[in-house]
C-alpha cells in the first residue's frame, strides 16, 4: 500500500468529506468501518443510480470527470484491499457511457453492473442495490447489519455515491476545496450543474448563477421528488440531500396537480414491501384526485409515513407535500395562489397553522 493510500483516511477526515448520496454520513468513518470489519473478501460499490428527478450530478461527473472518480474507487480498493469495485449504474447512463466506462476500467479491478430497468428510485438505496447485484428482489434490507459489516455476499461492503468517489479522487490529487455539485433546474434561465462551496446558501447560489427570479416563486431543494419546499423568505440555508435547487414560478404550477406529481413519483417507486408506504402513498394519490378531499386523513397519512415506513423512501414521501403546504400554500397571500377557500380553511386547521 502506497504512502498516499495509507494516508488517505487522514486526508478525508481533514477534508470533512460527507457522503454525497443524500445521507451525508462521514466518509472516513464509513471507510474505517469497512476496513475494521471481519471478512475474507471486501467489496466496493459505486452507486450511480441517480434515480431522483432534478438531480444530474452523476451524469455530469461521468461526462466530465470520470477519471477522477475512478481514482477515488481505486483508492478505496487499495485501502480496503477489496476484491473489486462494482459500478452500479442506471440504464440510461449505462447506454450513454458504456463505451467510455469500459475504456476507463479496462485492466482495473472494477466492473459495471447495469441497474434493473424497473427497479426505479428504490433500486438506488444501498441495500436494494446489494440485493439487485446478488440477483435478489430489489427492495431494502432490514438493518442492522449494515453494509460496512455485512453487505454484498455477506461481506463487508463500502457503498458510496459517484460524487463521493470523485471527491476522494480530488483529495488524492490535493485538489479538493470543500465544494459540492449542485443541480439547478426549473423555471430559471441558467440551469445546469455547478460546483459551490458547501457553506453557500440557496439564496447565494441563485444570485451567483443569476437565477434569482423576479417573479413570485418557491424552491425545492434536495431533489424534485423528496426535496424540501421553501418559500422565497426561507433561502438562508444550505442545499441538502442530493444537492439540487429547483425554482418554481407560483403562477405556473397548479397546487393540487403539483402535489399529485410528487405523490405519483412515490406510488410508482414504492417497492411494495411495507404497508405504510405501499398503501399510504396510494391513498394520498386518491385523495388528491377526489372531489371532496379529506385533508384530515391526508395529514394523518403524511404524519405516519415517516414514522412507520420501513425505509427512507417512505419516510421521504411526505417531505415535499408537507413542506409545500406549510411553507407555500398557507403562507402566500390569497390571490397569489389559487385553491378553493374551503380547502384552504381545512388545510389550515389540520396543519395547525
Binding site for ligand SF4 (CB under 6 A): 122, 139-140, 270-274, 277-278, 309-311, 313-314
Residue 182 or 316 having the CB closest to ligand SF4? 316
Q: Are 202 and 243 in contact (CB under 8 A)?
A: no
- H/E element holding 30? helix 27-36
What is the smallest separation between the CB atom of 314 and ligand SF4, expressed in angstroms? 3
What is the smallest separation between the CB atom of 141 and ligand SF4, expressed in angstroms? 9
- Who's near 292: CB < 8 A, 6+ residues apart? none
Largest CA distance in the chain: 68
Residue 86 or 311 having the CB closest to ligand SF4? 311
Q: Are 27 and 18 in contact (CB under 8 A)?
A: yes
Q: Report the distance separating Cα 237 and Cα 201, nearest Å.
A: 5
Residue 108 or 143 having the CB closest to ligand SF4? 143
Q: Report the distance separating Cα 250 and Cα 273, nearest Å.
A: 36
Residue 213 or 227 having the CB closest to ligand SF4? 227
Q: Report the distance separating Cα 78 and Cα 256, nearest Å.
A: 51
What is the smallest separation between the CB atom of 265 and ligand SF4, expressed in angstroms? 12
What is the smallest separation between the CB atom of 276 and ligand SF4, expressed in angstroms? 7
Q: Report the distance separating Cα 123 and Cα 128, nearest Å.
A: 5
φ/ψ region of 179 (left if φ > 0, alpha if ψ in -120 to 50, else beta) reads beta
Q: Which residue is nearest to ligand SF4 (CB)?
A: 314
Closest CA to 88 of 165, 26, 36: 165
What is the smallest separation between the CB atom of 142 and ligand SF4, expressed in angstroms? 10
What is the smallest separation between the CB atom of 272 and ligand SF4, expressed in angstroms? 5
Residue 140 or 222 having the CB closest to ligand SF4? 140
Residue 129 or 230 having the CB closest to ligand SF4? 129
Amino acid at each position: 500500500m502506497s504512502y498516499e493510500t495509507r494516508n488517505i483516511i487522514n486526508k478525508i477526515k481533514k477534508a470533512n468529506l460527507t457522503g454525497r448520496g443524500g445521507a451525508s454520513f462521514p466518509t472516513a468513518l464509513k471507510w474505517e468501518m469497512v476496513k475494521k470489519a471481519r471478512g475474507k473478501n471486501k467489496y466496493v460499490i459505486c452507486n450511480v443510480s441517480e434515480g431522483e428527478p432534478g438531480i444530474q450530478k452523476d451524469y455530469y461527473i461521468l461526462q466530465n470527470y470520470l477519471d477522477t472518480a475512478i481514482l477515488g474507487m481505486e483508492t478505496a480498493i487499495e485501502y480496503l484491499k477489496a476484491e473489486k469495485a462494482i459500478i452500479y449504474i442506471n440504464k440510461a447512463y449505462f447506454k450513454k457511457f458504456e463505451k467510455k466506462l469500459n475504456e476507463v476500467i479496462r485492466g482495473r479491478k472494477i466492473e459495471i453492473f447495469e441497474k434493473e430497468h424497473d427497479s426505479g428510485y428504490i433500486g438506488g438505496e444501498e441495500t436494494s442495490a446489494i440485493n439487485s447485484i446478488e440477483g435478489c428482489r430489489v427492495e431494502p434490507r432490514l438493518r442492522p447489519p449494515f453494509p460496512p459489516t455485512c453487505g454484498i455476499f455477506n461481506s463487508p461492503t463500502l457503498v458510496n455515491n459517484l460524487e463521493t468517489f470523485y471527491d476522494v479522487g480530488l483529495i488524492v490529487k490535493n485538489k479538493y476545496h470543500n465544494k459540492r455539485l449542485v443541480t439547478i433546474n426549473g423555471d430559471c434561465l441558467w440551469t445546469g450543474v455547478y460546483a459551490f462551496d458547501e457553506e453557500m446558501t440557496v439564496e447565494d447560489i441563485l444570485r451567483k448563477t443569476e437565477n434569482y427570479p423576479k417573479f413570485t416563486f418557491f424552491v425545492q431543494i434536495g431533489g424534485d421528488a423528496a426535496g424540501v419546499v421553501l418559500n422565497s423568505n426561507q433561502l438562508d440555508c444550505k442545499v441538502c440531500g442530493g444537492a439540487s435547487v429547483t425554482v418554481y414560478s407560483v403562477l405556473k404550477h397548479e397546487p393540487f396537480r403539483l402535489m399529485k406529481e410528487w405523490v405519483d413519483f412515490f406510488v410508482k417507486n414504492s417497492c411494495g414491501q411495507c404497508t405504510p408506504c405501499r398503501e399510504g402513498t396510494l391513498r394520498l394519490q386518491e385523495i388528491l384526485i377526489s372531489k371532496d378531499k379529506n385533508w384530515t386523513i391526508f395529514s394523518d397519512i403524511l404524519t405516519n409515513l415517516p414514522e412507520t415506513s420501513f425505509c427512507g423512501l417512505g419516510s421521504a414521501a411526505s417531505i415535499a407535500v408537507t413542506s409545500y403546504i406549510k411553507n407555500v400554500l398557507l403562507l402566500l397571500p390569497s390571490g397569489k395562489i389559487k385553491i378553493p377557500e374551503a380547502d384552504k380553511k381545512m388545510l389550515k386547521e389540520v396543519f395547525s397553522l
